[in-house]
Amino acid sequence: MDRKSEEKRVQMKNILSTFLQRNRKLIPLWATAILALTAYAIGASLFVGMRNPQVFLNLFRNSSYLLISAIGMTFVIITGGIDLSVAGVVALTSVSSAVLLREGMDPWLVVTLMLLMGMFLGAIMGSFITYLKVQPFIATLAGLWFTRGMCFFISDNAVTIDHPTFQILGKTKIFIPGMMEYYVGQGRPAPYITIPVVVGFLLLGFAIYMAHYTRIGRTIYAIGGNEGRNEQSARLMGLRVDQTKMLVYTFNGFCSALAGLAFSVFVFSGHGLYAPGMELDVIASVVMGGTMLTGGSGYVFGTLFGVMVLAVTQALIQFIGSLSSWWTKIVIGALTLIFIGVQTIIRNRKTQRQTTTVEEEEVTLRKKRRNLWVGIGALTFGLILIAVAVTQALPSRNQATPESTQCKVAPFRETEAAQLILEGAALVYHRTAGPECVDQLFAIFPDGRVTGTAGGQTLEKQVTAAEVEQLLTAISIDHQWFTNEIYSTYLNPCRQCYAHFISISFDGQVKAATGVDGTTAMPPGYAFALAEIRPLLPVFQSSE
């Protein structure tokens, strides 16, 4: 090889390395953006349904509340803090707005009150962190518990929102100009977004302006710099550290409350258990957006892509159909790990440049090797996950399309059950949802007659009276049905789960309790009661 080409090679290498050095912070951001788009492209090539532009816009529609919340979280993380209370504030906002609307309060007043409440909660947590020097993690954890707990003081059950203003906020379709004419011309439904998406993007624009073009933004970066240890130097520079931190936490409270409103107009109800584990999703999307968890560096813009990665992951898992929703958790965990790994490598590179001595170089070499191994490990881990996911997904290809497997959960027929109890039934059991999306109502009478109805079909079965007596005793005494240990737990069931309603009349007492397989805190006695009931029931042809 002649000298000239060698020189050229070195020059190219230098250009490349300076480019990488300069844009070091941007690497995770672009990686995330490329990842999100690639994942969507792969999905679109596998599933025809995903090519629909409406599905692409749905990514934003379904995660608008996540985006809003993640914007606030980005600032908190840049200052080197963390806020675990976001999911609690979202749930509290949804419940209290639902209850206030039910009581007939003016909707705009409700919106204002909710935003003020969020800011107030954020300010309280901020003051604990700023002035009492409590670790952000502990203070916001207390905030999470407080808000989640308060939800249940307000209302035990889910409260539906049917106020027209909130319906307008949630259901107004905003068509994309240009796209609309094209689709209407073709006679197809035009793709649209909703108001929360627009609000989310406006907030994003405001946040980008605030982070990069104002004094507050620069102070926020200064506080979190040097891996979050920079607070003292920021203070010595004469920056208003305390006020800025308070502002960041208050802003995050505002974002959480806004996210809660977006969530309320997305699901049109409020409940204390809504958005479980959302704080982790939010943190994961901020990290994937290229913000360092140690603080001081990151882009608000990247958070948008972090949220998109999350949304695409969820959409893909939904489209694959046979994968359960908990695969989302594993994939997000793995992605977070990979991005944190990338951050660590970048951080190590930064320290590497400062080292000079021979021994230290040896140390960095060892570090490099270690990083390589970890990278290989993470890659293998990811590949195994993908392999498992694909093998699980393959058999389902020729099954029903994912859209048709979505099931409309029938509401519990509580009045019908009460009527049956009045007619003399000892136990009424209603089951909905599940893999086949059933809606079955069973009644067991003391004389041993068991009836079942589902979708117009009626079945009858005869068991002995002694068996019924035994069943009732087992449920009410062995499984402590008439104690406080059996309480209703209800959530929207997961795709493969059943929702149960059991009403039992025994010894002059009547008690009804609802429960869902899988995601709820169903008391163990409830599950055992189900196990006792099931053998006595008639079996419908279509199910099981």
CA distance 330 to 340: 15
Q: Is 411 exposed, middle or buried (0-12, 13-18, 19+ CB in 10 A)?
A: exposed
Does 400 bind other proteins (CB under 8 A)? Our answer is no
Please answer whether residues 500 and 516 qualify as being in contact, where contact means their C-beta atoms are separated by less than 8 angstroms: yes
Angle at 192 (CA atoms; ends 187, 193), nearest 5 degrees: 175
Stretch that binds other proteins, among 13-21, 167-175, 245-253, 514-522 (CB under 8 A): 514-522
As a whole number of angstroms, the distance between CA 98 and CA 111 comes to: 11
- Is there binding between residue 284 and other proteins (CB under 8 A)? yes
Q: Which stretch binds other proteins (CB under 8 A): 62-70, 129-137, 214-222, 452-460?
A: 129-137
C-alpha distances (whole Å) from 303 to each of 29, 40, 286, 518 are: 8, 17, 5, 31
Least Å distance between CB 76 and other proteins? 14
Q: Binding residue for other proteins (CB under 8 A) from 27, 55, 142, 407? A: 142
Please identify, using beta-carbon distances, which residue of 194 and 297 lies nearer to other proteins. 297
Instruction: State which of residues 146, 175, 201, 268 lies at the interface with other proteins (CB under 8 A).
Output: 146
Here's the x/- map for other proteins, 322-341, by CB under 8 A: it reads as --x-xxxxx-xxx-xx--xx
Query: 409: phi > 0 → left, psi -120 to 50 → alpha, else beta; which?
Result: beta
Pick the binder of other proteins from 27, 55, 150, 179 (CB under 8 A): 150
The yes or no reply on residue 152 touching other proteins (CB under 8 A) is yes
- H/E run at residue 451: strand 449-454
**280 interacts with other proteins by CB under 8 A:** yes
Q: Which of 189, 277, 424, 455 binds other proteins (CB under 8 A)?
A: 277
Q: Which stretch binds other proteins (CB under 8 A): 68-76, 105-113, 148-156, 237-245?
A: 148-156
293 part of the interface to other proteins, by CB under 8 A? yes
List 365, 370, 379, 394, residue binding other proteins (CB under 8 A): 370
- Per the DSSP assignment, residues forming a β-bridge with 498 are 433
Q: How far is CA 288 from CA 21, 86, 328, 525, in A?
A: 20, 18, 15, 42
Does residue 518 touch other proteins according to CB under 8 A? yes
- Cβ burial of 131 (10 Å; 0-12, 13-18, 19+) is exposed
Least Cβ distance, residue 297 to other proteins (angstroms)? 15
Does residue 128 interact with other proteins by CB under 8 A? yes
Q: Give yes or no for a contact between 147 and 88, defined as CB atoms under 8 angstroms apart.
A: yes
292: left (phi over 0), alpha (psi -120 to 50) or beta: beta
Residue selected from 55, 517, 536, 540 as contacting other proteins according to rule CB under 8 A = 517
Least Å distance, CB 519 to other proteins, is 6
141 binds other proteins (CB under 8 A): yes
CB of 363 to other proteins, least distance (A): 12
- Asked if 165 is part of the footprint of other proteins (rule: CB under 8 A), the reply reads no
Give, as ranges, the residues between 63 and 82 that touch other proteins (CB under 8 A). 82
Give min distance, CB of 346 to other proteins, in A: 13
Q: How many residues does the chain have?
A: 544
- Give me the least distance between CB of 306 and other proteins, in Å please: 14
Report DSSP letters for 248-312, one per residue: HHHHHHHHHHHHHHHHHHHHSEE-TT-STTHHHHHHHHHHHTT--TTSS---HHHHHHHHHHHHH
Q: Which of 113, 437, 527, 536 binds other proteins (CB under 8 A)?
A: 527
Among 34-42, 144-152, 213-221, 354-362, the segment contacting other proteins (CB under 8 A): 144-152
Contacting residues for 474 by C-beta, under 8 A, at least 6 apart: 532
Nearer to other proteins, 105 or 293 (CB): 293
Q: How far apart are CA 96 and CA 103, in angstroms?
A: 10
The 3-class secondary structure across 155-185, one letter per residue, is CCCCEECCCHHHHHHHHCCEECCCHHHHHHH
Cα separation, 389 vs 386, in Å, equals: 5
Which listed residue (6, 106, 156, 361) binds other proteins by CB under 8 A?
Answer: 156
In the complex, the smallest distance separating the C-beta of residue 329 from other proteins, rounded to whole angstroms, is: 4
Site string for other proteins, 245-274 (x = CB under 8 A): ---------------------------xx-
Select from 137, 206, 209, 213 the one that contacts other proteins (CB under 8 A).
137
* Residue 134 found at the interface with other proteins (CB under 8 A): yes
Both tokens of 304, joined, read 């948008």
CB of 271 vs other proteins, minimal distance in Å: 10
Count of Cβ atoms closer than 10 Å to residue 499 Cβ: 24
Binding residue for other proteins (CB under 8 A) from 139, 220, 239, 421? 139
If you ran DSSP here, which 8-state letter would residue 273 be given?
Answer: T
**Closest distance between other proteins and the C-beta of residue 330, in Å?**
4
Query: Is 190:47 a contact under the CB 8 Å cutoff?
Result: no
Phi then psi dihedrals of residue 439, to 5 deg? -150, 80
Amino acid, res. 285: S
SS3 427: strand
> For other proteins, which is the closer residue by CB, 120 or 152?
152
CB contact at 8 A, 241 and 235:
yes
> Which residues in this chain contact other proteins in the complex, by CB under 8 A?
82, 128, 132-135, 137-139, 141-153, 156, 272-273, 277, 280, 283-284, 293-294, 324, 326-330, 332-334, 336-337, 340-341, 344, 370, 374, 487, 494, 496, 517-522, 524, 527-528, 531, 534
